[in-house]
Amino acid sequence: MTRSRVRPVRAGRRAFLAAGTGLTVTFVAGCGALPVIPRRPAPSAADAGSWIRYADGRYTLTIPRVEMGQNVLTALKRIACDELGVPWDQVDARLHGTRALPRVKATVGSDSIREFAIPLAQACATLRDALAAGHPGGLLAARALPYDTLRAFATSAPRPPRSEPIEQGRAIVRGEALYAADVRRPGQRFGRVLRAPVSPELASRVRSLDEAAARAVPGFAGLVRDPLLSLGRAEGVGILAATPGALERVAAALAVRWSVDGAFDADDVARAIDVDARLAHGALGHRAGGGTADLADLAGPWDVDLRLDVPPAAHAPIEPRAAVAEWTAEGTLQAWVGNQDVFYVRDVIAARLGLEAARVHVQGMRVGGAFGGKTIATVELEAAVLARAAGGAVKVQWTRAQEFAFGFHRPASSHRIRARLRDGRIDAWWHGFASGHILFTNAVLPAWMQRLTDVIGDDGVARAAVPPYRTGATRVEFDLVRLPILGGPWRGLGAGPNALAIETAMDALARAAGRDPVAFRLAHIESPRLARVLRRVRDAAGRPPSGDGARRVGRGVACGIYKGASFAAVIADVDVDTADGTVRVLQMHCVHDCGRVIDADQVRAQCEGNLVWGLGMVLREALPIGTSTIGAASFADAPIPRMGEVPPLHVELVDDGDPPTGAGETAIVASAGAIANAIFDAIGYRPNRVPVRPADVLAHLRAGGRG
């Protein structure tokens, strides 16, 4: 069999052999080994001038954010309508692509309202005033008007209720809203990249495959061997088919056998991050800002000394990632993607395929959940490589099993917190932990480059690790560990696990001091806004429910600050069945302050989502690790909370007119801790690992624990 060999540097140097019932393509590597680094500029009023346009009596708002279920389309359109002073149906909102706007920052970090609302309002105010002065519209240089002059953030209270529908809400209900998987192009084929069933951290390569059997499958359209299909250290084999069903049959017939270097299991991961084992070898390698007291100031004894282990967890989006890419006769490429950063996807495709960026256009589609997990180019690059090989359009959609096996996840972490009291106040606080990388993810960076980044640490791992309390002599330190499974950003980055550890220790300290947990926190809080949400949630929650002989009821509280700007406090009530160890959350109260609330319904929805994520962290979610891979192929293997497990959620929003600061990830700093502390209140069991399993509860009770 003849195969063409070309370097994928320019489209004109592409070659392929069409033979029999399909094509076979082999490429020789011709690209650099360095990964593309995303550029994420902060938005300004000058940038915002391109977001809003006026022509022929209508306004077009090109949303500079990716819509992934947070309803940012609705929120930003609402700001535009308020500032322009026009009715809802006079503004057309659309999603952006790389040709629609200058580069915008990725949709990450709860930044959509915090960073984009004010520039958008400034651009709309500029356009409104220009039209009133007789200017015909078009692209204008937006003026950086003061916040307190913008109509969209008028401080009159209470703000009038909103009656406009969710943007694209009717289309979603009717199945008309388009996601990447919905895109259909003329002559479109279906692609998949096969890899060894092991972590991409292990080197794997093809040992054998049955190309003849694959070619004999009706609908076979191509076999692609290209080094660009590698993921990490895992070789990939691309297949093309006329239909999704044929794709499955081609994959089965190809019967790829793999060679794999090395192996690991769950115990290897646990040993790698064991914080106590690392402490036995000396101090940890990195400090979290604001907590750097000398070790000499932190000598024991300690009133609280606790350990908490947090396992890996999946993002679990309802939509598995998908992309459609189309290679044109002119040597350009267009892609339709469900990614949090279309400009980064463009940069990766252009760099890896050796194209000028102007010859690649990436259109963002609605995303069916992302949570930080769709920030790198995986399926998008696969679709582009296969489309180039096919010379046309190709759709690639990962299966749920591929999502678990080849996506990155919340890294495992291991925590030790020690604290001392003096006269009922915290006198010393030390928190050491070990974690896989988050911002400098091994899903992108090779080991040698990750070692270089370790010099500066990882702010994602350290997020929310410094307690929002007066803690006397304080030291927070951590180690970064390259784990054999892929880890990276997960909702709130390290804030969820770090805040859970902090709030667990605060509850233990309150009890050691003989104080009410709310009063103890209030005595140590420095931020008036954090104190306010804590007082208000205490008042809103009222009296705790009562249990009976077989069911023990407990109440827990936790609070925190996210990214130094948004504030949340949560009270959770749980009951524990002493017969079978089952923990059920009865209700959760949350008070939330993220500054100016643009759309109360959507902010409440974000808070509710965070409350459920906290519930999942403590009671449900743990990504199993199998032999050299993720040990999950479906939600049955890695469950998330079900509707019947979600209790009544009561959310109160604080809005005193401060600039908006972001709601999407804030409540996660308080939700998990409140549930964990409620379990202790019910039965005296302080979890040292999550999720809490019924067997853990029963073991505690049988050992004579309070029940």
Q: Encode pLDDT of 159-190 as tens digits.
A: 555 667 889 989 999 999 999 999 999 999 99
Span 550-578, mean pLDDT?
Answer: 95
Q: What is the pLDDT of residue 207?
A: 97
Band (pLDDT 50/70/90 cuts) for residue 404 is very high
Band (pLDDT 50/70/90 cuts) for residue 38 is confident
Q: Where are the beta strands (DSSP E) in 358-498?
A: 360-364, 393-397, 413-422, 425-436, 473-481
Cα 588 to Cα 557: distance, rounded to the nearest angstrom: 10
62 dihedral zone (left: phi>0; alpha: psi -120 to 50; beta): beta
pLDDT at 32 over 50: no
pLDDT at 2 over 80: no
CB atoms within 10 A of CB 283: 13
Q: What percent of the chain has pLDDT over 70?
A: 93
Q: Which architecture characterizes domain 5-30+183-261+321-397 according to CATH?
A: 2-Layer Sandwich (3.30)
pLDDT in tens, 601-619: 889 999 999 999 999 999 9
Q: What is the pLDDT of residue 60?
A: 96
For residue 22, give the 3-state DSSP assignment. Answer: strand
Q: What is the pLDDT of residue 40?
A: 81
CATH fold for the domain made of 45-157: Aldehyde Oxidoreductase; domain 4 (3.30.365)
pLDDT in tens, 343-400: 999 999 999 999 999 999 999 999 999 999 999 999 999 999 999 999 999 999 999 9
Nearest partner of 443 among 489, 383, 384, judged by Cα: 489
Token look-up 């297949």 returns: 239
Query: Among 3-17, 144-158, 176-190, 232-246, which is the least confidently predicted range?
Result: 3-17
Half-sphere exposure of 242 (CA within 13 A, CB side): 7
Q: What is the pLDDT of residue 282?
A: 83
pLDDT at 65 over 60: yes
Residue predicted with more confidence, 32 or 545: 545
pLDDT in tens, 529-560: 999 999 999 999 999 888 777 789 999 999 99
Residue predicted with more confidence, 612 or 39: 612
Q: What percent of the chain has pLDDT over 90?
A: 80
Domain spans, the chain? 5-30+183-261+321-397, 45-157, 274-313+409-702
Q: What is the pLDDT of residue 33?
A: 60
Which CATH number does the domain 274-313+409-702 belong to among 3.40.50.10800, 3.30.420.40, 3.30.365.10, 2.40.50.100? 3.30.365.10
pLDDT at 16 over 60: no
DSSP percent split of the chain into helix, strand, coil, nearest 5: 30, 25, 45
pLDDT in tens, 439-462: 999 999 999 999 988 888 999 999
pLDDT at 7 over 70: no
Band (pLDDT 50/70/90 cuts) for residue 22 is low
Q: Which amino acid is at 512?
A: A
What is each CA distance from 387 to 222, 246, 248, 325, 654, in whole angstroms?
Answer: 11, 18, 19, 6, 50
pLDDT in tens, 279-294: 999 888 898 886 667 7
Q: What is the pLDDT of residue 471?
A: 95
Q: Where are the beta strands (DSSP E) in 50-152?
A: 52-55, 58-63, 91-95
Q: What is the pLDDT of residue 657?
A: 82
Terminal-to-terminal C-alpha distance of the chain: 72
Token look-up 């892609």 returns: 335
Tell me if 5-30+183-261+321-397 shares its fold with 274-313+409-702. Answer: yes
Contact at 8 Å (CB) between 112 and 665? no
Contact at 8 Å (CB) between 260 and 204? yes
pLDDT in tens, 260-285: 999 999 999 999 999 999 999 988 88
For residue 240, with 0-12 CB atoms within 10 Å meaning exposed, 13-18 middle and 19 or more buried, which class applies? buried
Q: What is the pLDDT of residue 18?
A: 37
pLDDT in tens, 488-520: 999 999 999 999 999 999 999 999 999 999 999
